[in-house]
């Protein structure tokens, strides 16, 4: 499975690295599992795309998965996964469907 990164994902990861220095080591196992074709997380209902949201423990904040990161991804086709965005639940509320559609539109341009 090939992993693609949206510009929103890259931008958010760079921003989060400044605050949480272990984010890359927290996210890396999830990306490896996705590369192996595993479906992780919960499917996001009532959206036009097949999207999943994965909770990831933040090892820099000792509050468990609920205060960790959220990684949203979708299947572009049977061989590609697009990492749409990542954010810290500790610092942001849920992302809405409109924001996700906007990110996907930018990615497809």
Q: What is the pLDDT of residues 11-28, one digit of tens each?
A: 999 999 999 999 999 999
Model confidence pLDDT, tens digit, residues 26-85: 999 999 999 999 999 999 887 778 899 999 998 888 766 677 899 999 988 888 999 999
Tally of domains within the chain: 1
Question: Do residues 70 and 86 lie in contact, with contact meaning Cβ atoms separated by under 8 Å?
Answer: yes
Question: Do residues 24 and 83 lie in contact, with contact meaning Cβ atoms separated by under 8 Å?
Answer: no
CATH number at residue 52: 3.30.2310.20
Which residue segment(s) compose the domain that 71 sits in?
2-108
Distance of CA 88 to the CA centre of its chain: 10
- Integer distance in angstroms from the first to the last C-alpha of the chain? 22
Question: Do residues 101 and 8 lie in contact, with contact meaning Cβ atoms separated by under 8 Å?
Answer: no
94, 95, 96, 98: CA torsion to nearest 10: 170
Given its phi and psi angles, is residue 46 left (phi above 0), alpha (psi -120 to 50 degrees) or beta? left
């Amino acid at each position: 499975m090939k992993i693609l990164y949206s510009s929103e994902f890259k931008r958010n990861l760079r921003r989060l690295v400044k605050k949480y220095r272990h984010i890359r080591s927290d996210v890396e196992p999830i990306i490896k599992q996705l590369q192996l074709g595993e479906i992780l997380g919960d499917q996001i209902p009532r959206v036009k795309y097949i999207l999943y949201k994965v909770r990831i423990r933040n090892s820099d904040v000792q509050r468990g998965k609920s205060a960790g990161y959220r990684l949203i991804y979708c299947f572009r086709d049977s061989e590609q996964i697009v990492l749409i965005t990542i954010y810290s639940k500790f610092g942001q509320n849920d992302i809405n469907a409109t924001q996700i559609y906007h990110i996907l539109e930018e990615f497809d341009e």
